[in-house]
Structure 1
């Protein structure tokens, strides 16, 4: 399914989809990478590693689904 606007993608994506959302901030742009919690006609919420980020849809310039994160590496053990 192809969407012309990133807002349409976010409004149609299932909750729990891993996404990256690029949006405007003072001085430029920033990205939110995480799991889509919700999307309304006004904003979307993405759960990133640090926190839940509420993004006004009017500020979104790009959005897409991304694959799951790679498995975490095991901690190194010290050699004696």
Structure 2
């Protein structure tokens, strides 16, 4: 079976949904480092994930993360 999921260009922020060996789905969210015919590599909060292309069920570009919220000031 050929996986025809289209990915954004390398360097973009993506979310990639893929299937785990038990059949459950999970997401990788982060920068797309590379993609070839066999493996997609995403650098996210869980570290660098090497995702077999045949396990991918969906992928898309996502906007940058929101800016961190400022810490509340503590007044005496």
TM-score, length basis structure 1: 0.80
Q: How far apart are residue 14 of structure 1 and its match?
A: 1.7
Q: What is the Cα-based RMSD across aligned positions, in Å?
A: 1.6
Q: Which has the higher helix share?
A: 1
The ranges of structure 1 where at least 4 consecutive aligned residues each deviate by more than 4 angstroms after the TM superposition are none
Matching residue of 1:24:
19
- Count of paired positions: 73
Which ranges of structure 2 fall in alignment gaps of 5 or more residues? Answer: none
Show the 5 A alignment for 1:41-80.
41-80=37-76
Q: What CA deviation, in whole Å up to 9, does each residue of 1:25-78 have, x standing for no partner?
A: 124100011110000111010010230111000100000111111111112232
